[in-house]
Amino acid sequence: MIRITGFVHLLTPCWNGAGSTQISAMPLTVRTSGAPIAGVSQDLGAAGDVEKDFVGWPPYLRGIAAMELRHLRYFVAVAEAGSLTLAAERRLHTAQPSLSRQIRDLELEVGATLLVRSARGTELTAAGRAFLDHARLALAQVDAARHAALQAAQTDKKSFAVGFLSGHELEWLGEAMRILRDELPNIEVTISSNHSPALADALVSRKLDIAFLRRETETPDLDYRLLRQEPLVVVLPSDHRLAKQETISPCDLAAETFVGISDTSPVVRGIIEAYLRRRGINLTPAHEVDYLSMAISLVASTRGVTLLPIYALSFLPASVTSRRLTGEAPSVDLVLGYHKSNTSPLLRLFLSKVDEIIARVDQRPASARPDHDGGSASRRAEP
């Protein structure tokens, strides 16, 4: 009799000689007794009561450790997109050469060509079509397992706290809530808005699980995921003389009433000051503001100018407009921050959906994005 145990879901015994086959899940050993069976005696060893270490049995395990879930996800994405380029750019947000290497590695592990290039794009081979159904099933089973684990984890923590840099709720809150509502409908979600340093402090003290903020430099306990880079634009009155120009040189700002950013936003303030220094421009702000609304109000009331991240365009009234800077404009990162030691499965789920959130925000209609002017040239400011 032969008794095979461990990794049996990857093996399909079909021996038709004398004896019988029994498959179970544990432990990871192989035992043989009786006469050796043709075709397997070389690997199993001679007849008799012999025990082998399954993990150390290379011929049967070659490729198992190397094939990872990401290979399956990449393969399914390419198969569904019908193009390596489209899958890399729109679904996986990775470089095409890297994706091509991952697909080649998968084909080496499978031992068959799964995809071929054609005039119509990337097509499945017969082996690829067979593999696709099983790959989808495997990924579905992993998702089901993850959902089950997360549902069980809710007994330990039923709330999730999200913070937003003031003004960014308009663009990111909806997609963040959609993920939480769809994936974890029974948890309580708390939302707050604040300055970026205050959000970082709340992450450090574990009052927040995650926050949309700037990349604060004095917070070594935090990790960040880049969401987007926001170029700075000139914000000025709609009837200002400089508004007649398509772009504005930073040198033109020197003679204007300049509205600066206070130290409540140290990252943005530092980027603006560094940019002006590089251009050899010495600007002393006539006013310093804490909030975006204050900056816009002062621009309108004092006929001054300011530099703001491009997301501010969503809040400009008709009396205030924006223009691009001449040359390469500075930009500020919008990031997703979280505490390095936060092991919450809810956080891990949210982080696994970050690329999906970015893609959905980027795919919004042009009229809904902050750099869209709704057809009015006086409101236009492109990155």
CATH for 69-153 (1.10.760.10, 3.40.50.300, 3.40.50.2300, 1.10.10.10): 1.10.10.10
Q: What is the pLDDT of residue 256?
A: 93
In DSSP terms, 52 is beta-bridged to 30
Q: What is the pLDDT of residue 131?
A: 92
Q: Which DSSP symbol is given to 368?
A: G
pTM above 0.95, yes or no: no
Q: Do domains 69-153 and 230-332+373-379 have the same CATH topology?
A: no
The residue ranges of every structural domain in the chain are: 2-61, 69-153, 159-226+335-368, 230-332+373-379
How do residues 152-188 score in pLDDT, each as one tens digit? Answer: 665 555 789 999 999 999 899 999 998 888 887 788 8
Domain 230-332+373-379, CATH: 3.40.190.290
How do residues 188-199 score in pLDDT, each as one tens digit? Answer: 899 999 999 999
Task: Please report the DSSP string for 107-176 in residue order.
Answer: HHHHTS--EEEETTEEEE-HHHHHHHHHHHHHHHHHHHHHHHHHHHHTTT--EEEEEEETT-HHHHHHHH
Q: Who's near 300: CB < 8 A, 6+ residues apart? A: 237, 317, 319, 320
Q: What is the pLDDT of residue 150?
A: 67
Q: What is the pLDDT of residue 285?
A: 92
Q: What is the pLDDT of residue 286?
A: 93
Q: What is the pLDDT of residue 365?
A: 59
Rounded Cα distance between 192 and 63, Å, is 47
Q: What is the pLDDT of residue 267?
A: 95
Measured N-to-C along each axis, helices 169-183 and 354-362 cross at an angle, to the nearest 10 degrees, of 130
Domain 159-226+335-368, CATH: 3.40.190.10
Residues in the chain where the model's pLDDT stays below 50: 1-65, 366-367, 371-383
304, with CB counted inside 10 A (0-12, 13-18, 19+), is buried
